[in-house]
Amino acid sequence: MPASSKEDEESHTHPSSPYPPLGVAILSIWNYVAAVLTLLGGIVSVVYPNAFSRHGSFESDLARFSLTSRLSVFTVAAMFSLLSFALGEALWNLRNWARLFVLVICAIELILGGPPSGVISRVISLVAIVYLLAPGVRAAFYAASESSAHVA
């Protein structure tokens, strides 16, 4: 049995593998989805600001803002969307800076996380930290950076 798990680990860290390890792929896809949803939220804030009201018959706070203010909200959403997409792409391509970025963000979430209702996000952050620090995952990122250094 131990030999097969070693083979699995080696297949995930092999630089010619077209896919990242499963957990990294999940984090990457999570960022792609976040990018799309953030951009859609920004578009909706401009086109239909009442979509964010708590009650369908009441005007939302966002609807009271001028079009210029709503376009500013869209611009910020678009910037965060681009950041999420870039992070997803970097994780998929096993860029070590993306792994370190996620580790820092997760650590901040653990330290500064919200009220006890944020327990789920803290657990997700803790799992992500443990996973991204696992030897096999770190080796996959380092192997990818070494192979890209040899190509350049």
Model pLDDT for residues 35-59, shown as the tens digit of each residue: 999 999 999 988 887 776 665 555 5
Q: Report if residue 73 sits inside a domain.
A: yes
Q: Residues 61, 116: one domain?
A: no
pLDDT number for residue 132: 97
Number of domains in the chain: 2
Q: What is the mean pLDDT of the chain?
A: 83
Q: Residues 45, 85: one domain?
A: yes
Structural domain of 99:
94-152
Q: Residues 126, 76: one domain?
A: no
In the 8-state DSSP scheme, what is residue 133?
Answer: T
For the whole model, what pTM was predicted?
Answer: 0.76
pLDDT number for residue 53: 64
Rounded to an integer, the average pLDDT of 47-73 is: 71
CA distance 67 to 49: 10
pLDDT number for residue 61: 60
Q: Residues 87, 98: one domain?
A: no
Q: Residues 74, 101: one domain?
A: no
Q: Residues 87, 25: one domain?
A: yes
